[in-house]
Chains A and B, each alone.
Chain A
Amino acid sequence: MVWFLARHALRRTPGRTGLLVAGVAVAGALVFDMAMLGGGLERSFGEVLTTLGYELRIVLRGTLPLATEAVLPQAEATAQALARHPDVVRVIPVLVHQVYMETAAGPVPVVVVGLQGDAGGLVRAHGGAPAGGVLVNPRLARGFALRPGVRVRLAARRDPQTGALLRARVVRVDGVGEFVFDLQGQRSLAMPIETLRDLLGVGPGAASFLAVKLRPQADPERVARWVTVTFPALEALSVGQLLTQVRRQLLYFRHFATVLSGVGLLLAALLVGAVLTVAIGERLGELAMLRAMGLARLRLVQLVLAEGFVLALASVPLALLLGMVVGTLLDGILRGTPGLPQTLRFFVITPGAAVRAAGLVVLTATLGAVYPAWVAGRLNVATTLHQEVV
């Protein structure tokens, strides 16, 4: 009977029920968005890192791939040594550096990625593979009308006094490509790693990091430990380790999400508690009748808790829908922030986040019904019946 009455209670005052459901849904949407934000960034990073299928990144100890201009001086020799490990399938040296490109408006900084062979999926050419020239990213191509066949002048450095380009050379644009690790708003180009080494004047075997692909059954952590022991100056970062570092750096986001989720849940609980308390006050006569009819105190408590539960449950679909819409909008805004990987997403919609948010909202809103349930349970039947008549 409790569930029967709780369900029908939604129809008692449709306007008030609608407003309450909407209010809890807004709070629930906030909780859902925060659940997406809390895990979304990490999940998105994980997706970016695993896209290429390289389980390890070998860097100079204490540095992170793509976050430093420090280079491994003997990268080629290290790559050959690594390739001899039975679990290693492939090792790709990658050299990343900032250079200057000469334009009509003056030199502009661009990020250049030096790659070996087919680029290992780090850069995906739109048309055919480059033939010794460079691939540019769409932003660079659009910004400076760079089409295949156009020649550009690149320089490793720029004199701080005169602005003159130093260690410059002319390269040919072979095409446009997508750069997996591009940051938002970044101008990038890719060229053979030997050409880049020559341009930068670094040693013939230099690389920023080595991307290592392992056999499917291999344990990345075990190989990483072997690398650390064999090459003490280097550090092997597995996807798991990188994610741990990312997690550490995203702690701020998690705290932010937790606090806002807490505020949302508190709002939902207060909303349900306030509205149900008012509703109970209006229905004292009915509740006294139910007690006189034969409902025990505990059943009345259950009835009010069930009303809170049903209200919260009714709010969940709207909360999830609203959360998805708001999350998508916010994601669009945040992804436009310069300096972030363009494939990174802040709000990732996952079934886990939806279930977690729905569960929390239902639980908290039901807890919000505890006070009105206590009020209903404490009802003095005889006094209430007397007052109702008077």
Chain B
Amino acid sequence: MRAWGWRRDGWREVAEHLAARAPHEPVVDIVRASRIYAVDGARVTAVCDVSLQVRASEFVAIVGPSGSGKSTLLHLMGGVDLPSAGEVRLFGLATHRLSDAALSALRLHRVGFVFQRFFLLPMLSVEDNIALPLLEAGVPAAARRARVEEVLAYVGLRHRRTHQPGQLSGGEMQRAAVARALANRPALVLADEPTGELDQRSGQEIGLLLRRLHEDGTAVVVVTHNAEIAALAGRVLSMRDGRVSA
């Protein structure tokens, strides 16, 4: 069981390593990783012996049928799940060797997540939702406000800043979720079916937003069933039965 740690200790644990890291190193390096679940006593292999790398500024799409292990692979890449075998290196750090606090701090400062269900907090305004990662990172109020303003403009939601999530359309909610993922200037954005609950037009907007992110230097990995989104990616990985094929 991982130790439960304090956030600043966690950041100290990884910050030194990140500062010494060479820029050309892959942001994600998966070496023969497998993820096996025990379901009702049976072993289910969600990800099987996968090796791959995601480089800085790369746009990767992962496609495949439902249950093929796409989301599990994405979770392994983001360090919210750990491999049962093999190794996942996130910014050069083996996720299974890090404490919970360190892995959390790494996600907070270097990884942005976008989910199909948005997960915006309903009682907060759009700008407060976007400010959450900045608050957690201890960014001072003035810098926080400036950064929220910046990402609101980036995703085209400045006019919605004071609105509650319930007052937004699906596309706007997902743009707000993308803005939240970008708040701490992540080097890697992981999106799990980001257009799954959107109409075609909103889906296209989100796809273009992700491509813009990639063009601006952020590595993007998107799990999708949407062929239009996959077509925007520089590399498409196909998954079937937990295995990846290029």
Contact = CB atoms under 8 A, between A and B. Distances in A.
B135 A1 contact: yes
Given A9-B123, A286-B119, A385-B75, A296 B135 contact: no
Nearest to B109: A294
Contact of A293 (B2, B6, B72, B113): B113
Interface residues of B, number: 41
A41 B72 CA distance: 66
Interface in B131-155: 132-133, 135-137
Interface in B101-142: 101, 104-109, 111, 113, 115-117, 119, 121-124, 128, 132-133, 135-137
Contact of A292 (B4, B7, B105, B113): B113
B49 to A, nearest CB: 19
Contact of A385 (B107, B115, B132): B115
Interface residues of A, number: 29
Contacts of A293: 107-108, 113, 132-133, 136, 180
Interface string B69-100: 00110010010110000000000000000001
B193 interface: yes
B29 interface: no
A120 interface: no
Contacts of A298: 4-7, 100-101
B192 interface: yes
A161 B27 CA distance: 110
A17 to B, nearest CB: 10
A299 to B, nearest CB: 6
Interface string A280-300: 000001101111111111110
B10 interface: yes
Nearest to A12: B123
Interface of A: 1, 4-5, 8-9, 11-12, 285-286, 288-299, 301, 377, 381-382, 385-386, 388-389
30 contacts: A1-B132, A1-B136, A8-B121, A8-B123, A9-B123, A11-B123, A294-B104, A294-B107, A294-B133, A294-B184, A296-B6, A296-B101, A297-B4, A298-B4, A298-B6, A298-B100, A298-B101, A382-B75, A382-B81, A385-B71, A385-B80, A385-B115, A385-B192, A386-B71, A386-B72, A388-B115, A389-B71, A389-B115, A389-B117, A389-B192
